[in-house]
Amino acid sequence: MPRKSNRTADPPTTSSPKGGGLRLIVDCYNVLYAPMPPVQAGLDEKRLCELLARGPWRRRAVVVCDGQVKPGVPARSPVDGVELVYSGKQCSADSLIAKMIREDTAPRRLIVVSSDRAIQRVAQRRRAQVWPNDQLVSLLTQLIMARSEPQLSLIHISEPTRLGMMSY
């Protein structure tokens, strides 16, 4: 029986990819469990990878998850250019991210997304940029809103600044 090839424990290379630019390392569950606006309700590993592929990090993002692949969750990223990596049983996502930062050949070209203070310290020591979760969540919200179709609303607001009330 062929073995499933899910990435665990060995960090992906974060050396400069073709095309250069900033690279992104995302502490997946740290971001997914952060407060989200309603437009991002139900964000999961797969959708996070898809949203990152829409942004400026296409071909330069790594999403790092704790543990092993869970049932119903993709073992690989559903989009090219965004890697989805699981830390495995013996290692946490935090320690894998810290290792990736320490081993990066150009850490000043990294953006590390995590609100974990230990990861932030490792990134700052290597002079990588650090973004708290809410900064990435805000950017992803902008990407969603920029691509969404105008929606019909059941409530019509007429002159809200002058009248201060809604009309139906």
Does 85 or 157 have the greater pLDDT score?
85
pLDDT mean over 85-104: 95
* Residue 161 pLDDT > 90: no
pLDDT mean over 37-54: 89
* Residue 41 pLDDT > 70: yes
pLDDT, tens digit (0-9, with 9 covering 90-100), for 5-40 = 344 444 444 444 444 578 999 999 999 998 888 888
pLDDT of residue 166: 41
- Cα–Cα distance, 84 to 63 (Å, whole number): 5
pLDDT of residue 39: 85
Q: What is the pTM of this model?
A: 0.75
pLDDT of residue 17: 42
Does 13 or 60 have the greater pLDDT score?
60
Pick from 3, 15, 113: which is nearest to 64 by CA? 113
Does 32 or 164 have the greater pLDDT score?
32
User: CB-based contacts of 116: which residues, under 8 Å, 6+ apart?
Assistant: 27, 30, 94
Mean pLDDT over each residue of the chain, to the nearest integer? 79
Contact in structure between 146 and 158 (CB atoms under 8 Å) = no
Phi, psi dihedrals of residue 134, rounded to the nearest 5°: -65, -25
